[in-house]
Structure 1
Amino acid sequence: MAGSGIPTVDLSPFFSSNGDQGDKEKKLAMDAIYQSCSEHGFFRIVNHGVPLDLMNRALQLSKTFFEYPDDEKLKCSPVSAAPLPAGYTRHPQNSPDRNEYLLLFPPNSRFNIYPQNPPEFREVLEEIFSHLTRTGMLVESILNECLGLPPNFLREYNQDRSWDFMAALRYFPATKVENNGISEHEDGNLITFVFQDEVGGLEVLKNGEWIPVTPVEDTIVVNVGDVIQVLSNKKFKSATHRVVRSEERSRFSYAYFYNLQGDKWVEPLSQFTKEIGEPPKYRGFQHKEYQQLRMRNKTHPPSRPEDVINISHYEIST
């Protein structure tokens, strides 16, 4: 995987028990994840349990869907009652984002509007969602152990999977006169999982330098979000990243957001503050309050970049 810019971690040891050798492989994987999360919050995973043919099929069907006329795509117009606008959304022509996406909650959610076409798209979306949910639970348990938390601590804290969501995305080609991508940001959830087509465009900020996350077949990109950064009192970093759009081709990708129930209280855990004599770096907040502030960044963009709300809104000045 040389040249991919971020470390690649093999998860196969976590799916089998191979005695001492398996334990050594697990430790190597956890050491790599620990280092990545401590420094910049990005890594790749292989042997993650999501079938490659399913990932490729999902990308191909999303391309077919996004090529449909607007009237067909708008049959999946957003559901306003959902925590986020589930369904099809397209940013306006003059938006710097210049993308369109289909946002979905878990298959059994009452908020979902699945597309009727292509005919097999719904089945594939539901299957990919279920696989990524299991991957999310595995990576969450690995982070739990990396942080030295009690067994199953994060799973018990974050056991409601109904707030997870997934987006199939299409980024339009850039022109020479416009902002050619999505501005740098961090994700407001716990963990994000991304797989992309061969066009690429994802970049991560590492040691002050933007590193392209080049597409590598059968890998999933993982980044840590703001909730993990706050819970760990900044021991693990929320990944700063962006998408740079190609001037020649559309980019297609999927992002699965392993999220937190909206009423949950988020604050630095005592294991990283009181118990080790460290002051908390953030004041506590209700997760849905933060999500609403982040949504306002999109619906009512501030005129000045410095007024965009991110996790620093809750930082405690020292």
Structure 2
Amino acid sequence: MAIPTIDLSPFFKEGDGDGDEYEDERKKAIEIIKEACSEYGFFQIVNHGVPLDLMSRAIRLSKTFFEFSSEEKLKYSPGAGAPLPAGYSKQPDHSADKNEYLLMFQPQSSFNILPSNPPDFRDVLEEIFVYFRKTGELLETILNDCLGLSPGFLKEYNEDRNWDFLVALRYFPATEAENNGISEHEDGNCVTFVIQDEVGGLEVKKDGNWIPVVPSESTIVVNISDIIQVLSNNKFKSATHRVVRSKERSRHSFAFFYNLHGDKWVEPLPQFTEEIGAEPKYRGFLYKDYQAMRMRNKTHPPSRPEDVITINHYAVSTE
């Protein structure tokens, strides 16, 4: 079993003026994406508009950066009291997630602490951020059509792009005593885009089974996240996924989080509740409140797994 792969090239083509000969191709792609969002919450895209050489350069320069000494990498740490955790960080030794990462927000943001070494890494990070954002805007339009919403609805709802962020990640090799990477979870944003190197390790859960997402240099993994699940009242699925670390090699990847402004109110849309006579499956909430609870999961991990805050915190009881 494999997650679906969708060719986005029809969305970059224009008709010759005598009718749109690419309309049928777009409709077919939309139907495949709609099914993937309902069944998996995961799919891959090709011909997505992000230059393949830029993706390769980003992975290569990321590998070079993470091979530097701790002393060199720590030069780019946000430091205590930073308003945003932009820059280099490493998971504490007691954490179950054995990785280190470099986080950036909008290009040219004063919060970013980006490496000057290796040369060109900063420029590549800023360039690929812009491409990922454009891909997010395209996918948002496609999801809008998949959900049957009025044209431009999601774009207007999620118009502020200042909360998007990009993470370069290195997962350390597993030891004999452990093989975990990132424990299973769902993402709390709108949509996540992932590129991974040849080591792989990303897996998505479906019907109780874990499906490996096989790496490919030309593909971007798309992960539907919690906000889309809530807005659609569970019509679309926030994918449960994890990273399984290799016992031999580090794994490198990038994740771009197409996000939502913290002051946005989130609740199931009337198109999926009152307009069709369905009960809302979630109570409404401020996005920043949910993110604060998710962050506390990381800074103060609960002793019991069942106490970890997920989107189910806002689920409406059916009892």
- Under TM normalisation by the shorter chain, which class is it? over 0.9
CA separation in 2, counterparts of 1:137 and 1:69? 37
Specify the code of the residue in structure 2 equivalent to 1:298. K
**Preserved CA contact (<8 Å) 1:96 1:178:** no
- 2:25 maps to a residue whose letter is E
Match of 1:9 in 2: 6
1:43-91 CA-partner distances (Å, limit 9, x unpaired): 00000000111000000100010011111111111264445x1111101
What is the match of residue 149 of structure 1?
149
- Equivalent position of 1:225 in the other structure: 225
Tell me if 1:287 matches 2:284.
Answer: no
How far is 1:179 from its partner? 4.4
Give, in whole Å, the separation in 1 of the partners of 2:51 and 2:28: 24
Q: Which amino acid aligns with 1:7?
A: P
Cα distance in 1, alignment partners of residues 173 and 82 from structure 2? 32
CA contact (8 A) 1:96 1:179 kept: no
Equivalent residues in 2 for 1:95-114 (5 A)? 95-114=95-114
Aligned counterparts, 1:78-97, within 5 A:
78=78, 80-83=81-84, 85-97=85-97
Letter of the structure 2 residue corresponding to residue 171 of structure 1: Y
SS at match of 1:93: coil
- Which moved further from structure 2: 17-26 or 111-120? 17-26
Deviations 1:259-283 (A, max 9, x none): 0000000000111111111010000
Indicate the percent of aligned positions where both proteins have the same amino acid: 69
Distance (whole Å) between structure 2 residues aligned to residue 108 and residue 139 of structure 1? 24
* Structure 1: distance between partners of 2:86 and 2:295: 13
The separation in 1 between residues aligned to 2:285 and 2:103, in whole angstroms, is 25
Name the structure 2 match of 1:116: 116
TM-score (norm. length: structure 1): 0.96
Counterpart-to-counterpart distance in 1, 2:131 and 2:138: 11
1:156-200: CA deviation from partner (whole Å, max 9, x where unpaired): 110111100000000000011024221110000000000000000
Mark the runs of 5 or more structure 1 residues left unpaired by the alignment: none
Aligned to 1:70: 70
Instruction: In structure 2, give the amino acid aligned to 1:9.
Output: I
Partner amino acid, structure 2, of 1:212? P
How far residue 126 of structure 1 moved from its aligned partner, in angstroms, is 0.4
CA offsets, 1:19-65, max 9 Å, x none? 45411110111011000101120000000000111000000100010
> 2:245: which partner in 1?
245
Aligned-pair distance for 1:314? 0.3
CA distance, structure 1, for counterparts of residue 51 and residue 281 of structure 2: 40
Q: How many residues align?
A: 314
SS of structure 2 residue aligned to 1:138: helix
Name the CA distance, whole Å, in 1 between partners of 2:295 and 2:164. Answer: 16
Residue 57 of structure 1: aligned partner: 57
Q: Is this contact kept in 1: 2:99–2:181, CA < 8 A?
A: no
Shift of 1:123: 0.4
Question: Following superposition, which runs of at least 4 residues in structure 1 exceed 4 angstroms of deviation?
Answer: none
What residue in structure 2 maps to residue 259 of structure 1?
Answer: 259
Structure 1 partner of 2:176: 176
CA contact (8 A) 1:144 1:153 kept: yes
